[in-house]
Each structure stands twice: as structure tokens, then as C-alpha cells.
Structure 1
Amino acid sequence: MRRLFLLISLLMMVGSLDVSALDLRVVVYDEAGEPIPYATIKVKSIDGSKVLTGGVTRDDGSFTLQIEQHQLPVLLEASLIGFTPKEVRCESSTDYKIILQESALELAELSVTASRITHRMVAGGISTSIEASPLANLSDVYSVLRGVPLVEIEGTEVRVAGKGTPIIYINDRLMTDPNQLRNLKPYLIRDIEVLTNPGARYSSSAESVIKIYTKREQGTGLSGEVKLDLNNQISSPMGYQPYLRLNYRLNNWDFFTSVMYKDEQTNHSFPSLRTHGKTDQSEWINQSTTKHKEGVQTQEYTIGVNYEDEVQSAGFRYRIAADKEDSWMFSDLTSNHLRPTPEAVERYFGKSQTLKPWNASHRPNLYYLRRFGDWKAQIDLDYFQTGMSHSTERAAEGHTEAYELSGVENSHGAKYQSAGGRLDISGPLWGGRLEMGGEYTKVHNRFYNHLDASLSLTDLDTEQREQLLALYLEYQRKIASEWSATAGLRMEHLENKYIDKGVLDPDKSHTTTNLFPTLAVSGRLWGVRTELSFRSRINRPSYVQLQPQYLYVSRYEYKVGDPNLKDAIDYSTSLTLSKSWLTTILSHIYSRDCLTPETALFTDPTTGVVRPYITLYKTVNAPPHHALSAAIVASPTIKWWKPTFTLRLSKMIGYDLWNFEERITNRKPTLALSVANQLTLPGEISMVFNVGYTPFGNEDNMEFTAPILTSYAEISKQWLKEKNLLTTLSISNLFNTTHSVRTATRYSVMESTEHVPPRIAFTISYRFNSSKDKYQGTGALESVIDRMNAGHD
């Protein structure tokens, strides 16, 4: 923390040395006296031959430009498509007012070329303007997101650098279906905000938020989209995903439906997995090669109706989904028992198959939104339920691939049920904006686990009942002409009851109350857009991680959960500096009870005796520690080429490890480099080529023992007169990505190498008409459903 404040002080000292700089404030209006946002301002030499600096006006039509004192006098030029450019002579430091007149030229006769992408500070993060930029000409939303600072895309997975998977809002509506993101058309996207320190209105578990704002599409009658995704991972069967969306608009009503089916197979291979274990009585080395194949089938159906007029909006949506999974694992294991007496190295061949038949989930959602002048209030009611899933695993082993040794059969399953409600109220107050509300969720989950009798482990039959009450309050307002502040507070009260075979277990139940403050101050400091923010957040274990069920992996490997896991809490402080196309982010995070995977010895739950030669995979709460990070993002525009360069350096402090008897206190930092390239070519063709490189680093208790290289390439084209037809060809992991990591504890050291083969995908989509449903329900169970889906790997 001292280093961070020292760095801030140095930055302020550097800024204060620029005594010869002059700030010129310009406000641009139209003939009616209305401010003109996004007008281009240029400062030119008095003869007009040289442009000294420039910028773009803000929403209030103002912009502050910085030049050197000795350059006076200069010319100020304001221009915007649809208006006649105008120049003003500037001889001193004062405020200048420029009035633009509408041009007599028709916009349709003009050829508009986007030349730069603008960024601005918002509370908790950065906003990128997409419209009238090269990004608006790309083929799909994922290509657009790849060009936004701090956003990382792998296939269709969206992440924020250093902040994990974000919560996504589209026009201030929480995204509850990934198809909502896929269906966005780049030319309709206005702005994308990336919040690395979200405010109090967001869930305390939200580490980052992406907010996408679009221009409204008009139209009535029938509209829709049909899409087909084909993908193939090397040595895997072809996967496919057809999708159909229809919407019928009649006056203020929308009637909508969608259908999606997905069939995909993936391969994962671990060329090397080596575990060195040691206790007072024994020592061993297990080394294996593993191949894993997984097939997933998913189908999803949605129907809904929505009504909207000038003062209110209401709607109902019902979604039913079902999934089916089959997986196969083949391993070649050698086990070397070193103590108490050396034994001959044993070799085992193993195969296992896990079958999970179709299981359906139901999710109805109802909302009502009402506007009261400048204020609005919205209530959401949400429900989610699955059937009891049943996964059956059959495993066989042998010293040869005839698998002559006896096999085992295990089964496990879970049923999830939850209901919730949410209220949000927002509007202007005392010159600022107030947002407040709350939510309530109730959860009732059931789990069972039955292991083969030969494993001598207890079965599981548990219930988990949970109630969460959350209240939040957030206020934002300007505190000076160019500064604003946002402050918020969120309270969450959680009651969790653990029931074992119908009996409440008070030792494994808990009640917690947490407060999560947020604060952000942003503005312009010596010509640099600046924001200082603070936020606290929580990361709760998944429901599976809280179950003490043993899952069989192989003869020498098991997984287990822990009902006594604590919630992880982070306290994050960030400083963001941005000027033109260059952004710098400095941050400090204090983590308490961080959830991290770990290897451990296997203690028999009935006898309490350590079973030798077996590795146990589990999740634990790490000791408190700090993390410092710095990121530099450069996003210039060079004609039709729009690159984004990102350099990120981070280091954990206080996260010590034990490598058997050796304590490791000074962990290496993590360095991550990436280049995202967007190319807009003639003929409605766009190209993407992204590369990421991590030469070294540590993440929690894992150390990267070899450099990691990731890649993604894409080419797309829009067809037909209205650009209704889109084709995209992409390839990920072009260079055969390999991940090599080491995990060390007091009793074991595990080294693993995973190979991720390339995946090729082809997408063809056709849309007709342009109107979409105006459903604005956000749901109230997103954080609960995330905890249901996590922890199954």
C-alpha cells in the first residue's frame, strides 16, 4: 500500500512540473443553443498549416485542451458531420464558445470514415465509444469486445483481465441468456463500459461488469434470426449448434420465442501428471498420461410476451432447458512406492465412463417497470428448478489394456431449487442520481453420492437450505466542473443450513452479515482522465464445493468438498489514468479466505488414518495476502488497422507456499502480454488476429513452469444488400496451447501439463427485419445459478 501511494505522489509531482502548459476550454453549441457532443476539436497553428493537438467534446459539448503557452496565438476548429466547420482565433487562456450551423449537404452524400476510438472515464471503469468507429464495422459482438481495453475473449467466453468472468448488462438489463450477447449487431452498439470496480447496486460477488448500450431498432411485424454454428476440435467429431429466434411486434406488444440445440465433443489430454507425495511413514511418486473425451448435448426453448408504453413496461418469460453428458477417460499410470520399503514400479491402465442422462430445468421470470417522471422502479420475480440429476460412473483397471482387475461403479446427483425477488429504484436527487433497492433469494438443494463398496467410503445424503437478504444504496453526482463521485453501500445477510440425512448439523451451518462499501472519484487531472476507486466483494463457494462427497477419479486420485469453507472477501483499490489512446491501471487487492484448489493427503474418513500413495484434490481457504498489479493498454488507430496492446504485471505478497519442508516466501510476479488486431477491409470483410503470451507467473498456489501462448484468428464477411447474411470462419489455439503448472504443499508436489488442441469454427447466420423484443426483466437468481453450475469440473 505504501508503494502505491508513493507512486500516486510521484505522478502528481510529475504533473505539477508542467508550469508552461495552458488549458483552453471549448464549448460547442448548435444554432438552437443545445450542446453538441462528440464534435471534433483541433488546435492549429495560426496559419492553419499544422495541427498541434485535438480532441472530442463530451456529452455537455465541452472539452478542455492543453497546449504550450509559447504556442499562442492559435486557431480552434470545431467540426462534426452534418455541420459546417468553424474556426476561432485564440490569443489567451479563456473559455471559448463555438456555434456550428447545419450543413446544406445531405449526409447520404458524404463518405464517413471512422478514424479513432474514444474512451472516457465512468464510475468504476472505462467506457469505449463503438459507433462511428472501426469496431462498428466488424462481423459480430465478440470481435468488437476483443477491441475493447481489458476484455479478453476465448471462443465465446468473455473475461476481464485480472477480474475473471464479468456480469453482463445490455441496455441496463442483466443478460440471462448467452444468445442475447451473440445476437447483438456491431453497427447498433453505441458504447461498451468495462467496470473493474462495480458499485453497490451489483452483487457483492461481481468482480467485474460489462455494460453494453445499443441504438434501438425500429420496426413492427415478424422479425427473427436463424443461425448455424459448426465447430471441430482436432481429433473430435464435428459439433453443431442451430439457433432460431422469432419476434412478432404488434403496437406495444411483443411475442417472442427461441429454440437452440447444441451437440459438441471436446478432447483434453494431459501428457504428464506427476505427483510426489511424502509422509512420516511413506513416500511415493505417481506419474500418468491421461486423455479425456466429453460429449455434451443441450436444448433450450424460450417463450415470452412483453408490453411497453411511455410510462411502464411488463413481461413474462418462461425457459425450459435440458442437458445430457457422456464422458470417457483413459489413463496410463505408473506408481513408484519409495518408502517404507522400495517396491517394484507398478503400471496400471485405466478407463472410465460417466453417463448423465437428460435432465431438465425450468425458469419462469416476471417483471414490472414503472416510470414516475425522471424516476423509475422495477420489480423482478424469478424461479429456478432442476430435476434430480443422476450420473453413473463405471471404471475398470488392469496391468494391461485388457483391464483384468475388478472395476468400480459409483453414482451421484443433485437437485436445485430456488426462488427470488428484486426491487430497483433510481432517479435524480440533489443534483445527482440515486440508486437503491434490495433482493431476497431462497435456496433448497439436495445431493446424494453412492460409492462402490470396495472403496470403503461413506455415502452422502444431504440438503442445503439458504436464505439471502441484500440491500443497497448508491449515489452519484458531480463535485466540480470536471469531477464526479460515486459512493455506495451494500449489505448481505446469509443464513445457510446443512442437513445430513434429515438432521440439521449446526457445526456445518452458519449465519453471516457483511457490508460492502464502494467509492469512486473521477475527473481530469492536468489533462489526464483520472479515477481512484475502492470496492469490496465476496466470492462464495459453489454448492458442490460445500458437499463432503468423495468423487472417484482413479485408483490413486479423489476429489472432495468441505461444508466449512468460508466465503472469500476482497478489498480492491484502483487508480486509472487515461489520455488519448493510452490507459494505465494500478491496483492493490487485499484477499481474505481466498478459495483456491489444492492437493492434500487422503485421510480415511472412518478411521482417521492416512491412506498412502493417494492424492486428494480439494478447495481450501488461503491465508490473507496482498496483490499489486499494473496494466498499460494502448489502443491506437492506423487507418484500417486497429491494434490493442496490453501489458499486465502482477505480484502476490504474503501468499507463502510449502514445498515439503521448504517455505517459499518470495513468489515470482506474473507477466502477461497480448496484442488484439482488428482489420476492416473493403468488400464488407473484417479480420481478427489476437495473440497472448505469459512467459512466467504465479496464480494462487500454482506456478506456471513453462510459457503460455494463446491465439485466435477470424475472418468474416457480410453479404446481400442489407448485410443480412453473415459468414465467419475462426480458429483458436492455433499454436497448440500447452499449460504447465506446479502445485506445492507440505505433503505433495504436483506437476501437470495440459495440451489444448486447435478448434475450428464456422458460423452462418441470416436475420430478417430488425425489431427485437423489448423484454427488460433482469431476474433475481443469477449469482445463485452461477454457484449451482460451478464446481463440477
Structure 2
Amino acid sequence: MKLKLFIFLICFVFGKICLSQNTIKGTITDDKHIPIEGFNATLLNPSDSTLIKGGFFLNGKFELQCNKKEKFLVYLSSLGFQDTIFPIEVIDTVKIIPEIHLKKQDIQLDDVTVKARRQLYMQTADKLVMNVEKTVLKEAGDATDVLKKSVKVNVDSENNISVLGKGKAFVYLNGKKISSNEILSLIPSEEIKSVEIIDNPSAQYDAEAMAVVNIITNKNSNLGSAAKVIHTTTKRNSFENSTNLQFSKRSPKNNLYVSYYFLNKKRKYENEYIRDYTQTESPSVLLNEVNEKFSLNPQHSLRINDEIVFNKYNSLNLVLNGSYYKGKYNTDNRNRIFDSSITDDANEEFTSDIDSRIKRTLLNGLINYRIKSENNNRVLDLSAEKYYYDSEKDESILEVLNGKPSKKANEIDNQFNFYTLQTDYKQVFNPSLKLNSGIRYSRYKNESTTNYNSSVSSRNEFFENLEDEFIAHGVLMFSANKWSSKLGVRLEKLKRDTELGNEEIVDRDSWDWLPSFLLSRKLSEKSQLSLSYSKKLVRPSFQDLNPSISYIDSLSYFQGNPNLKNARIQNLNMKFSYMKYASISLFYKKTKNAIVWYIDSSEENDQIAIGTQKNIDLQTTWGMDVVIPYQTKKYTVYLASGFEKINNKGFYADLDKTKWYVKSGIDLSLPYKLNVNLTGLYFSDGVNGIWSYEEAFKIDAGLSRAFLNDKLNVSLTFEDIFKSNEMESNAKFNNRFITYKYYYDDSFVRLRVSYKLNKIKKGSRIKSLLKDQENRIKSMYK
């Protein structure tokens, strides 16, 4: 009933929209038919040349609107070209002007410096764009640090990334999905130009993505070579140090970038579990306190990006990412068992000390060949990618029960091998009709070996999961007058074979059809309304399916569930945006077979807790979010707030709670070239899956200043100032009550120093200046 009412309201709103205007469109090029990057286009009254409407446009395209069908003068101007003026007559609703060529004009420029505060946020029908370049965020650290301070984005202690109100987000780099979030640590914040936040991705994007975060990196337009040295010192409970060395060299035919990253770190985690079994056949209360320390021997990471330009139609891009490190965990695990409540005296107590040694290797390589048409109307990308990840973990476990020690050992080796072949094709038929399409074949292979040994038993398990995936997608984009739309479809075929030892436990072959659409209308020059729908598919991860036991202590272990089903999700979203800054959205999500964490009990001993995952039949979520940014010459501030209400049907139907969230930030320019950034995040109590959790908040701050003509930059970061990054959640499983408290050592002070060494060939900077000032100049005509 709620869904029907929601759809009725949407249709009613769109039905009320009946205003219309006339549109004038055109393309501006130079004498070689190359689009002019920045120019002014204005409509003038032919009788007295008074201004009717105008704007600043980029990439050779302009679009102006007028209320009447009559005669006008069109005046075009661009730096480095002769001004052009000509008459037109508007007869039809859409007037398309044939391609116009501007003649070059020789000019002599002295050294000019343009300084302005760049527009930090910009809304479109399907995404929110946050500019990083030339803001205090460029000194945040790496890409993960930038996302922590991005509007609507949340990064948890395990570097899992989500968008507030939407759920899990997939990260893309320049439009290409990254294989692992660990790659984000290899991308310095200085390299990032902007971050795009897409809260209802079309069929073009991964089927599992509830949201997409697309990181756009800078393209070096200067010829010559440059180097940068970045050193960071972080104070938590102990000191951490990292050094990043960057080198780039650009010529007309080649653009090379190399980055080496060195890191050592130490972290601390605190966990507390309370298991209330007082309503079971064997009443008791168990208090489990876990203190974990992690230290990382130097991590070495390397990133190489080389773009080879054969001619203006063909280019080759090579990307290599690699990372290697060793580390160790020390876990103090204390368990106390009471009769009916937690007191000073326990009936039984045992401890478990775990010393772990880990080793991880990551290798990722990508090759992309691009073919473009002369006017860039057609682009073909041919890509191949290889991803390899190996994780080895050796655990030595000493348990003491009633004064009697016992030793155990656990060895886990995980290997992931991914191969991908992909073709993407884009075509612009005309300014109003565009196509994005692609096909992809991927093979995912996960091999896991677990060896467990104790004085009384041993267990050796080999788990293998093999998936072959074929995907085809197409998205057609159409615009007319004030309307624009995106119609997409994604076809996915997946074959999965899973074996435990020599026994086949999963053999599935499935097809999925995933449509999407976006419909948008400009209500006025300052406002826009859009409606979007997408169907999503969430598959269990390899580890979720792995039934091998990951031992914690005599009363606790984790175990995957090979019988998990895919979750199928339908998303409906309506967004109203104003001035390309602020927005308000209503959303509805319906999930079948939602995957949630569950605490099961052993059939042999109901006091043994087994952490695993299960499906629940149906889950619905609806809510609203608001994004309000405000910008002046001295500061930029944003507020992102909203709520979501989750309802579970059947299984855990009694969980029904509304969650509120607020994220706010300010970017402030002070005297003496100081820049300040402040970010705050708050969650009310709410529901996640079948767990209820308590409210939490976190506040971060940053300060930076540039010296020596911007060659030297010093920044200071204060993360989790009030040490409030704690989480408490609880759930009920078969009359067993579980409470979980968690603290992540995310409170730190960080000093970051970077220095640039440049050897750049001087030349005309007109194009780069125009690009840098794009949003600022456009806003002058609002």
C-alpha cells in the first residue's frame, strides 16, 4: 500500500509539470573542427543589442532558452578567437544551429594568476559531485581519507564504504570499477580532482552497487617532469610513519606516473560480547572481553600508470598496482560465565591468548586500448584486467581453563584470482541522443585452505569457489526541451561451482535481467525534478560461502554458509534539486532474501556461539535525505541529513525502528593562507539487518597551509577528536540475547608534509585556467 501511494504521489507531481520554453542549441569549433573548451554565448535583442540571456559553456556545446518564438542575435566570444555575431529566428520549440567555426586571434598574455574559490559541490539529476582539487581535502592523505570527509559517504573501521541512506557503495576510478578497496591507499589525495556520488546507479554499473563512488583523478596538462615527496607522522597510542614518493613525466606522446608508498602502523581494538542465556534450558550469562593489538611491519606499495598516445584517435593505458606487507595480531580473550547476571565472582573463567602472523600480497594489472572518432562522437575501449590477492594467517592459541593450559594452532591461506575482459562503446548520435554500452566476461576463483590442530583433534579443509560471469549492458540517454531520460538494461549470467574437499556443495547457473531508468525535468532555470528506478542483485562474498571454521575460542567461531541465496533489490528514488547545490530525495527499497549476520548455536552445546549469515524473506526500507551546501568566498559548508525506516517481514518482523543520520562539514579560508576543514557524523539508534544498535557520533578537523609558492604544503589532521567512535548493538536469537560493544582506535593526530620538485615547460595556460574556473564562471550567470 505504501509503495502504491508513493508511486501515485510521484505521478501526480510529474503530471502537474506543464511549463515549456524554447531551446536554442549549437556547437562551436575552431577551424580544425575541434570543440572550443570555454566560450561565452549570449542572446541579444536585434533592435538595440540589449542582453536577453547568456552563459559560459565548455566542450564546444551551448544551450540557451527563450520564452518567445522570434528573431534574436547570437553573440559568441572566446579568449584567443575573434568575436562572432549572427541573427537567428526561433520558429520551432528546439532550434539547432549548424556547427559554427571561430577564427583564431593572436594575443600576447603576460603572466596572469587567477584566484577564486572553486564551487565545492554540484548536483545533477543522478549524482552529487564534490570537487577536491584546490581545497583543503587535497591534503587529506589518500583516497580513503578523502572519502571519509565526503558528503553522504561513510567509511567504517574495516574501510567498507557506504552512502548514507543507500547502503554498500562500489568504488570506481575514472569510470572503471576497482578490484579492491585496498587500492585506495595507493592513490594520494593530491591526485584526486573530484568525487562523484551516484545514489541510484543505472544498469551501466555493477549489479550489486546500491550506490557508486566514482573518483576522478587529475590529468596533467603540463609538459615536462615533476616529483613530489610526502611524509606523514600519525600519533595514536603509538607513532605511525608513512612516506610517499611520486614522479610524473609528460610529453605529447606519453604520460607516465609512478608512486611508491611506505607505511608502518599500529592499531588497537576493544570488543565486549555479552551473551544472555538466562531464558534457555541451561541458564547463564557469558561476558567475553577482547583486546586486540595490530602492528604492521613496513608495507610497500607501488602504483604505475602509463598513457601512450599513438595519435589523436588511438591511445593505450597501462596500470599496475602492487602491495606487500607482513604484520602481527595479539589478542587477549577473556571469558567469564555467571549464573543470572554479571557480578564480581564468576562460576567459571577461561582465557585465550592468540598470537597471529599475517602476510598479504596484492597485484593488480589493467591494460586499456582506446579508439576515438575524429569528433569524439564514438569511443571504443578494449580492456583486460588481472587481480591476484594472497592472504596467509598463522595463529598460535593458548587457552587456560580452570588453571589448565591447552595449545591450539590455526593456519588459514586464502588466494583470490580474478580475470576480466571488457569492451565498452559510447556514441553520441546528436546532442540529444547518446548511448553507453558494454560487454564483460570475468572469472573469479577463490581457494582457501584451513588447518586446525589441538591436543585432542585436528581438521584440514580445502574450499574452492569458481565463478564464470558474463555481463552485457546498454544505457540510452535522451534529452528534449526540458526533459531528459536514461533507459538501461543489464543482463548477467553466472555459473558458480563450490567444493569443500572433494565434495561439490553448490552448482548454480542463473540468468538475471536488471532494468533501470531515470526521468528528469527542469522546472525552471534553478530547479530540477528527477525520478529513477533500478533493480539490483547482491551475491554472497566468497568468505560468506566458505563453510570452513575460523576458530576464536572454545565457545566461539565463525563459519560461512554455502546455502546463502542472492538478495534481489528494487530501488525507487525521487529527487528535487535547486541551483545545482541543494537537494531533497525520497527513496523506497524492497529486498527479497536480504543477507544478514546471525549468531547460531551448536547442536552439541547451545553455549557455543557460531557467527554466520542467513537470508530473511523480505525487507523494506523507505526514507528521505536532504543535502544543503552553502558557499561564499571565505567558506563552504554542507549539511547532509535524513532518515530510513526498515521493516522485516516474517523473520524478525518485530524489528521496526527509524534511524536518523547527520553529516556536516565546513571548509574555511583564514588569513595567512590557512585552510580549515571540520567534519561531523551522527547516527541515532536504529536497525541494521536484524541487529539494533545505539547512537554514535564522530568529529574530525583539519588544518593546512602552503609555502614557497605552493611547493611546500603542511597539514595537520585531528581524527575522532572526542574518542567517540564506539558501536553498541544487540539482537535476540532463539531466546538468547547478544550484546556487542566495539571500539576502534580511530582517534589520532596526523602531521603531513609534501614538497614538489617541478621541471615544467612554460606555455599557454588558457585551457587549464578555463577548466579550473568552470563552475565559478558558470555560477555568475545564475
| Fold equivalence (TM over 0.5) | yes
1:633 positional shift: 0.8
Alpha-carbon distance in 2 for matches of 1:412, 1:360: 17
Preserved CA contact (<8 Å) 1:685 1:715? yes
Identify the residue that residue 365 of structure 1 maps to in structure 2: 366
Identify the residue that residue 646 of structure 2 maps to in structure 1: 652
* Deviations, residues 157-177 of structure 1 (Å, cap 9, x unaligned): 754223345334444344563
1:92-491 equivalence runs, <5 A = 112-114=115-117, 119-122=122-125, 124-127=126-129, 149-152=151-154, 159-164=162-167, 166-175=169-178, 177-179=183-185, 181-185=187-191, 189=193, 192-213=195-216, 216-233=219-236, 236-249=237-250, 251-254=252-255, 256-270=257-271, 272-277=272-277, 281-297=281-297, 298-302=299-303, 305-310=306-311, 311-337=313-339, 345-373=346-374, 374-386=377-389, 389-398=392-401, 404-428=403-427, 430-431=429-430, 432-453=433-454, 459-491=459-491
2:761 matches 1:759: no
Preserved CA contact (<8 Å) 2:582 2:628? yes
Alpha-carbon distance in 2 for matches of 1:736, 1:655: 37
Residue 617 of structure 2 aligns to which amino acid in structure 1?
A: P
Which SS does the other structure have where 1:739 is aligned? strand
Identify the residue that residue 707 of structure 2 maps to in structure 1: 719
1:361 positional shift: 3.9
Alpha-carbon distance in 1 for matches of 2:439, 2:665: 39
Alpha-carbon distance in 1 for matches of 2:251, 2:39: 35
Alpha-carbon distance in 1 for matches of 2:754, 2:259: 15
Q: 1:326 to 1:396 in 2, by over 3 A?
A: same
Preserved CA contact (<8 Å) 1:41 1:79? no
Q: 1:736 to 1:282 in 2, by over 3 A?
A: same
1:602-681 equivalence runs, <5 A = 602-603=602-603, 609=604, 611-655=605-649, 658=652, 664=654, 667-681=656-670
Pick one of 735, 738, 750 that aligns with 2:738: 750
Residue 739 of structure 2 aligns to which amino acid in structure 1?
A: E
Which SS does the other structure have where 1:345 is aligned? coil
Q: 1:450 to 1:643 in 2, by over 3 A?
A: same
1:527-538 equivalence runs, <5 A = 528-538=527-537
1:627 positional shift: 0.5
* Deviations, residues 254-290 of structure 1 (Å, cap 9, x unaligned): 55543222221111113x4211136763222112333
2:685 matches 1:696: yes
Question: Identity of paired residues, percent?
Answer: 13
2:529 matches 1:523: no
* Deviations, residues 413-458 of structure 1 (Å, cap 9, x unaligned): 22424242322232325442222222222233322223344676x7
* Deviations, residues 624-673 of structure 1 (Å, cap 9, x unaligned): 11100200110011441211111111001235665xxxx625x1100112
Alpha-carbon distance in 2 for matches of 1:351, 1:768: 52
Q: 1:290 to 1:54 in 2, by over 3 A?
A: farther
Alpha-carbon distance in 2 for matches of 1:576, 1:628: 14
1:32-47 equivalence runs, <5 A = none
Preserved CA contact (<8 Å) 2:715 2:753? yes
1:96 positional shift: 13
2:503 matches 1:509: no
* Deviations, residues 91-125 of structure 1 (Å, cap 9, x unaligned): xxx9999x999999979668654385562424x32
Which SS does the other structure have where 1:623 is aligned? strand
Q: 1:214 to 1:601 in 2, by over 3 A?
A: closer
Preserved CA contact (<8 Å) 1:201 1:473? yes
Structure 1 segments unaligned to the other structure (5+ residues) = 43-52, 67-76, 86-93, 604-608, 773-793
1:153 positional shift: 5.9
Residue 664 of structure 1 aligns to which amino acid in structure 2?
A: D
Preserved CA contact (<8 Å) 2:522 2:528? yes
Identify the residue that residue 556 of structure 2 maps to in structure 1: 557
1:63 positional shift: 5.5
Alpha-carbon distance in 2 for matches of 1:319, 1:193: 23
Structure 2 segments unaligned to the other structure (5+ residues) = 44-52, 68-74, 84-92, 762-782
TM-score normalized by structure 1?
A: 0.79
Alpha-carbon distance in 1 for matches of 2:476, 2:624: 27
Residue 396 of structure 1 aligns to which amino acid in structure 2?
A: E
Identify the residue that residue 781 of structure 1 maps to in structure 2: none
Residue 411 of structure 1 aligns to which amino acid in structure 2?
A: N
Alpha-carbon distance in 1 for matches of 2:588, 2:455: 50
Identify the residue that residue 686 of structure 1 maps to in structure 2: 675
Residue 576 of structure 2 aligns to which amino acid in structure 1?
A: L
Alpha-carbon distance in 1 for matches of 2:669, 2:79: 21
Residue 478 of structure 1 aligns to which amino acid in structure 2?
A: F
* Deviations, residues 363-401 of structure 1 (Å, cap 9, x unaligned): 4433322224432222222233345724223132355xx
Alpha-carbon distance in 1 for matches of 2:138, 2:322: 35
Q: 1:210 to 1:303 in 2, by over 3 A?
A: closer
Preserved CA contact (<8 Å) 1:657 1:744? no
Identify the residue that residue 498 of structure 1 maps to in structure 2: 498
Alpha-carbon distance in 1 for matches of 2:459, 2:405: 21
Q: 1:277 to 1:510 in 2, by over 3 A?
A: farther
* Deviations, residues 29-87 of structure 1 (Å, cap 9, x unaligned): 99999999797999xxxxxxxxxx99987974445699xxxxxxxxxx999999999xx
Alpha-carbon distance in 2 for matches of 1:696, 1:734: 21
Identify the residue that residue 546 of structure 1 maps to in structure 2: 545
Residue 449 of structure 2 aligns to which amino acid in structure 1?
A: Y
Alpha-carbon distance in 2 for matches of 1:308, 1:460: 52
Preserved CA contact (<8 Å) 2:634 2:668? yes
Alpha-carbon distance in 1 for matches of 2:195, 2:705: 23
1:356 positional shift: 2.4
Alpha-carbon distance in 2 for matches of 1:54, 1:103: 25
Identify the residue that residue 788 of structure 1 maps to in structure 2: none
Preserved CA contact (<8 Å) 1:420 1:439? no
1:578-593 equivalence runs, <5 A = 578-580=577-579, 581-593=581-593
Residue 732 of structure 1 aligns to which amino acid in structure 2?
A: E
RMSD: 4.4
Preserved CA contact (<8 Å) 1:82 1:107? no
Which SS does the other structure have where 2:672 is aligned? coil
1:679 positional shift: 0.8
Alpha-carbon distance in 1 for matches of 2:366, 2:218: 25
Which SS does the other structure have where 1:178 is aligned? helix
Identify the residue that residue 708 of structure 1 maps to in structure 2: 696
Residue 184 of structure 1 aligns to which amino acid in structure 2?
A: E
Residue 589 of structure 1 aligns to which amino acid in structure 2?
A: K
Which SS does the other structure have where 1:669 is aligned? strand
Q: 1:348 to 1:562 in 2, by over 3 A?
A: same
Pick one of 714, 719, 731 that aligns with 1:732: 719
Alpha-carbon distance in 2 for matches of 1:746, 1:703: 16
Preserved CA contact (<8 Å) 1:30 1:36? no
Alpha-carbon distance in 1 for matches of 2:5, 2:106: 54
Q: 1:104 to 1:175 in 2, by over 3 A?
A: same
Which SS does the other structure have where 1:613 is aligned? coil
Q: 1:703 to 1:10 in 2, by over 3 A?
A: farther
Identify the residue that residue 8 of structure 1 maps to in structure 2: 10
